[in-house]
Amino acid sequence: MLLLLLLLLLLLIPLAVGLGFWTFALFECLVREPSSEPTRMKWLLIVCFGTVLGAAAYLVMRRPLRIDLYGR
């Protein structure tokens, strides 16, 4: 029983961290990207369909550039 609980925790913790990371990137893209630019839709699709890898790509590649350009 203890082994089953430990295995369940080892599976749920990374899942919860990944979901939180993905949610953060999705929120950043939805709220902070300027809606007038077509890059917003492109990054939304990448984050939505790329899940954790798409979120990592957005946070590493686009977010620093957006902050430099728009200051937010």
pLDDT tens sequence across 5-64: 888 888 899 999 999 999 999 999 999 888 887 889 999 999 999 989 999 999 999 988
Please report the pLDDT score of residue 57 as a whole number: 95
Going 2 to 4 to 7 to 47, the CA torsion angle's sign is: negative
pTM: 0.81
Helices (H), 33-70: 39-57, 63-70
What residue segments make up the domains of the chain, in order of their start? 2-70
Rounded-to-integer distance, Cα 27 and Cα 31, Å: 6
What integer pLDDT is reported at residue 61 of this predicted model? 93
